[in-house]
Amino acid sequence: MGHTQAMVTAMQTHCDRCQAPLSRDAAYCESCGERTRRAKRLVRVAIRVEVLFVILVALVVIGFTYVFTIQHP
């Protein structure tokens, strides 16, 4: 895990909005509730994963429908 630590050196220590100090690994500012940059990035990743999951489910459903209609014309 030593390499990942180098990527975290740009760690946000203060809130972007109110400049209040943030606790380590905080997702939200305790003072004003602003999301930290790390949390924003995690949300973006989560949305991407969600979109991929929806596409995957759609493909599976389409695949099953296709197979089903071929077996039962």
Q: Rule CB under 5 A: is residue 60 a binding residue for Zn ion? A: no
Q: How far is the CB of 37 from Zn ion (least distance, A)?
A: 12
Yes or no: say if 32 and 18 are a contact pair by the CB < 8 Å rule.
yes
φ, ψ dihedrals at 21, nearest 5°: -65, 140
Q: How far apart are CA 28 and CA 48, in angstroms?
A: 21
Q: Rule CB under 5 A: is residue 55 a binding residue for Zn ion? A: no
In this complex, which beta carbon is closest to Zn ion, that of residue 31 or of residue 65? 31
Per CB under 5 A, residues contacting Zn ion are: 15, 17-18, 20, 29, 31-32, 34
